[in-house]
Structure 1
Amino acid sequence: MRKIFIIGIVASGKTTLAKRLSTQLGIPWHELDSIVHHHTLDGRNKRTPEEQVEVINDIDHSGDWIFEGVHRESYNCLLDMADTIIFLDPPLWKRKIRILTRYIKQSLGLEHCDYKSDIAMLKMMYTWTSDFEHNRPAFEAKLSLYSHKVTRVTNSEALDKILRSERVVEDSKGVTHG
């Protein structure tokens, strides 16, 4: 496990897992949101899909990595490059609670974010979650092409299992492989 792509929808736990695996394995991690929306002297700018792939390729040539983010077409190359794909798929109710909790923490200044945390963004996060569920069959079909390297994590016990070991045991409760 040296090139890891952690994928999931908003509030699925991607950043938390990426940080912990990065520390545990000594592998640098990269937020895909920062690749899409990068900071320049002029402010926060959005890269084109081609520019995003170029940045990803540059990082890939540097060696081991962990990328984490939601699915975008420009990230399809990561599905090919990764030797391990971890799909964080907690229940919808849990993600909805996490979205609200994140919004409250950001509003109180207890959690940093690189975007404007307001009611409009809160609504967008719920919309993205709803859209993901609506488009899940297409996403699942795409992911099935990589079933030999996909681990699906649906609960915190399974997540703890990943964090305790570099290899995930196939019979772990809440973890399914290909």
Structure 2
Amino acid sequence: MQRILIIGNSGSGKSWLAARLAEQLTIREVNLDTIVWQPGGFNQKRSQDEIDLAIKALAQEPSWVVEGVFGALAEQLLAAADLLLFLDLDWSVCRDSLLSRGSQSAIQRDAIAAEENFQQLLVWASEYELRASKSSRQFHRELFERYQSDKHHFTTRQEVNNYLTQLTTHS
């Protein structure tokens, strides 16, 4: 387990899981948001060239835990990954998680814009099941089905916690 890819909806617990795995395995943690968005918020995308270069470079690194909802980017890392984790939690769980996390406006440059972005995120995340893009549940399922190496599909927080506990006791 040197290259772990975690996919799922916003609020599914990808960042939480990635942080724990990275700490336990002492490998780099990468949130795809940091590759897609300019620093200071989630309202300015990097150029596609910058994103593509960062993904290509990341794919060459010997170890990482990468997490994100961006299926198109996850797809580019799939061949380099040796473990795929799909957090396929119910929207109500994701919504509650997002609401408890809040807009994170205090750590962004523009608190008003951050709050507006958060409201947009809630709407966007609620459409995970309906979207036709590569950031949809359907596409994440397709990535999961296509992936031929070690993979795990989680539908509850308890399953994720059990998996982590199992890793801790066997490492």
Is TM > 0.5 for Structure 1 vs Structure 2?
yes
User: What residue is the counterpart of 2:33 in the other structure?
Assistant: 33
Give the SS at the match of 1:134. Answer: coil
Give the structure with the higher percent strand.
1
How far is 1:62 from its partner?
Answer: 2.9
2:6–2:67: 8 Å Cα contact kept in structure 1?
yes
Q: Which amino acid aligns with 2:125?
A: T
After the TM superposition, which residues 86-165 of structure 1 pair with which residues of structure 2 at under 5 Å, given as runs?
Answer: 86-103=85-102, 106=104, 109=106, 112=107, 116-118=113-115, 120-135=116-131, 136-146=137-147, 148-165=149-166
- Are 2:79 and 1:83 aligned? no
- Provide the C-alpha distance between the structure 2 equivalents of 1:28 and 1:124, rounded to a whole number of angstroms: 29
Q: How many matched pairs?
A: 160
Give the number of the structure with larger relative contact order, counting CA–CA contacts within 8 Å between residues 6 or more apart: 2
> What's the TM-score once normalised by structure 1's chain length?
0.76
- Provide the C-alpha distance between the structure 1 equivalents of 2:76 and 2:52, rounded to a whole number of angstroms: 8
Inter-CA distance 17–26: structure 2 relative to 1 (3 Å threshold): same
Give the SS at the match of 2:17. Answer: helix
Give the SS at the match of 2:86. Answer: strand
- Are 2:64 and 1:65 aligned? yes
Inter-CA distance 166–113: structure 2 relative to 1 (3 Å threshold): farther
Gaps of 5+ in 2: 132-136
Inter-CA distance 139–31: structure 2 relative to 1 (3 Å threshold): closer
CA deviation vs aligned residue, 1:102-141 (integer Å, no higher than 9, x gap): 227x36x5xx4577431x2232122222321113334423
Q: Which amino acid aligns with 1:117?
A: A
User: What residue is the counterpart of 1:55 in the other structure?
Assistant: 54
User: What residue is the counterpart of 2:21 in the other structure?
Assistant: 21
How far is 1:148 from its partner?
Answer: 4.0
1:35–1:47: 8 Å Cα contact kept in structure 2?
yes
RMSD: 2.7
1:31–1:69: 8 Å Cα contact kept in structure 2?
yes
- Provide the C-alpha distance between the structure 2 equivalents of 1:28 and 1:89, rounded to a whole number of angstroms: 23
- Provide the C-alpha distance between the structure 2 equivalents of 1:158 and 1:67, rounded to a whole number of angstroms: 20
Q: Which amino acid aligns with 1:121?
A: N
Inter-CA distance 68–134: structure 2 relative to 1 (3 Å threshold): same
1:100–1:122: 8 Å Cα contact kept in structure 2?
no
Which piece of structure 1 moves more, 78-87 or 31-40? 31-40
2:31–2:67: 8 Å Cα contact kept in structure 1?
yes
